[in-house]
Structure 1
Amino acid sequence: MNESRTNDPASPARLARRLGVGDAVVIGLGSMIGAGVFAAFAPAASAAGAGLLPALGLAALVAYCNATSSARLAARYPASGGTYVYGRERLGEVWGYLAGWGFVAGKSASCAAMALTVGAYAWPGHENLVAVAAVVALTALNYAGVRKAAWATRVIVAVVLAVLAVVVVACLTSGRADLARLEPHALEAGGVVQAAALLFFAFAGYARIATLGEEVRDPARTIPRAVPLALGVTLVTYAAVAVALLAVLGPGGLARAAAPIADAVRAAGAAPLAPLVTAGAAVAALGSLLALLLGVSRTVLAMARDGHLPRVLDAVHPRTGVPHHAETAVGAAVAVVAAVAEVRGAIGFSSFGVLVYYAIANASALTLSAAEGRPPRAIPVVGLAGCLLLAFSLPLSATLTGGAVLAAGLVVWAVRRALKRR
């Protein structure tokens, strides 16, 4: 296979390589340890009941396979765009385009969901207004430079991890905690798979590291180290939180919880911690939104370079070294969606698009040779099968909407290709 066209040193607009392993891990953590941990466990428990922990394990397995495939590909193609670049180089232009289209559409919806979560916690009843303000503020921060954004994400991750640690200790040391509630009974495979699909939404942020491939130092070494580190910290955190919630609320109580972590600290007799949890949820959503905006804008940049999006988006600021036109466009689009959308619909649509994106990443990894750093073949095979299984276990409305958007993208690609041949 040829190297990615975006690796050509003659390319006129290059991003600065400023991020090390620590920065890349923090950006990945900022995407994964975000609003999902404050919201995803309740619907997952509703689907899986006492099978929540097996569902978490299944989601983590698929995420690990995706992370490994993505890391090997990112080391081979250290350019902005993630699976858009990998699919294009390994499978053909249409697959790269489909991955990019699904990622931009799905993650734009996810950005809106994160922004709306900020609004729901910060100013209930005015979610859309707060969401738009959050998008504008964080777009301006990203515009100022990726290292400033990485520094802000580092602070947010530290705050959220501290809040979750306090919650876990308070729950597990309370008289309400009963570890017998963790024992699974009468598991239903369909419920466990659907719960895994819902929990996967909270794991998906490791792609942010790959989409920043053009901005990390020594990507062949940095990316394969940063991805599993970020995923490992996230899995340990989620497992600890899941155990604490189940021990205090039980599967039924967790399924009924409107705000699972806040409800758990109240049930554990630590009601004074509830405002801290509320603040932590808002901060977590801001961290996710910050990192998501970074990843989407880099994919837009890569697609603009290849003419799949307007060429004006292929621009790098001469002083800050960021794709300022792409960041501004993404911020504007997300702000519009956040002004009119609701959280649950945005999350369902986003999950489908992200799983399709990773399915293409695993298919791309299967084409790597041993000399190109191919992972053990079982990893992309399990990752591909897992992505498809989870995608089609989502609610029918999410699957149909996601499929329609992907089909519309393919129509746009076919029309553009036909016009180009004339």
Structure 2
Amino acid sequence: MSGHISSKSAAAILGKMELLLPDLEALYKDVHAHPELSMQETRTAGIAANSLKKAGYEVTTGVGKTGVVGLLRNGEGPTVMLRADMDALPIAENTGLAYASEITATDGEGNTVPVGHMCGHDMHVAWLVGAATLLSQSRDGWKGTLLVVFQPGEETAQGAQAMIDDGLLERFPAPDVVLGQHVMVGPAGTVAGSAGPITSSADSLQIRLFGRGAHGSMPQASIDPVVMAAAIVLRLQTIVSREIAAMDSAVVTVGVLQAGTKENVIPDEALIKLNVRTFDAGVRKHVLEAIERIVNAEAEASGAPRKPEITPLDRYPLNVNDEVASNRIATAFRGYFPPDRVKHTGPAPASEDFGCFGTAWQVPSVFWFVGGNDPEEYARAKATGKLNELPVNHSPQFAPVLHPTLETGVEALVVGVLAWIGTT
């Protein structure tokens, strides 16, 4: 197999999508309206498994708790793995869609929380079901093996590793390449990617600060953890602005600052939760060490009775696209899509555990982005300097336009697969 596929061959397979599209749209709306939290994706996994069984795949469920793996053997040839994540977020949806989520669920800490597909994983599920179905319906057009993976727990960095720990590498054939994609802000109908780092590494930390509580009218009797926390939050901003070189990149975001229960009570403790994004191992090391240095120094300056507790919460690895495989995907995309629909993009500060699969199997992986915004709306926002006002992933208003986002994601997966298993 040469791995090269003509646009005519891709078009022949994708020509069947029109008949499939109503079912895919219904599936997408169903999954969107019934989101599930990380590692709780039982209903979504059932939909994925049933879709694969209907398409003729060997299906294994419960991999890494709720993961689903489909295997389709179609003669001698390369093995290609396709991956989609399934989990939603503890966010109340505010899109106004007719099929908007009204779901609540119990999170890992026992809290009742709203749940919404505010990162587009519902679209990812529909894309992969569509691509897997079309490729199965067109087995006379390619030779090889498809390994289709519906992964849980991406939002908590648990799912990929959970599937690996549950014997993914031993139970299924090793792929020659791992492919994945994500809906992002960008004109719907476009695909974008690049070789090298494509999503950042991420570290989440919890910082527990200790003070001495007192009446609000008697601050002299206290060691105020609120002031301590405020000083730390402000000082953390200087890591990126004053310690990281201009040609490097890092993000430090404090997402949680909690202290106290009443306005006239100085509490004993304060809690900070923060997130770090980096694209370089050395920069990552420097940022994490700077956080520890600043937190401990501010606590000591405040006269804290105990050193702060700094606890890692989760970590995402740096996701690096293999150069040769990325160029192969780009060539395939340019051979199928019109030139204005294939974009080059730099690395995104978002993070993904997708890269765990390629690393574990020690094979190339490629990850790319699919635009989800109405093209005219996106063009207006860009022309007026208001791109930052468009709802991004994890926003309560994030809602990809259904068409042509749905079609484009299916097209990209099929074309990507055919770059390896297509016949000439």
TM-score, structure 2 as length reference: 0.26
Which structure: greater strand fraction? 2
Which structure: greater helix fraction? 1
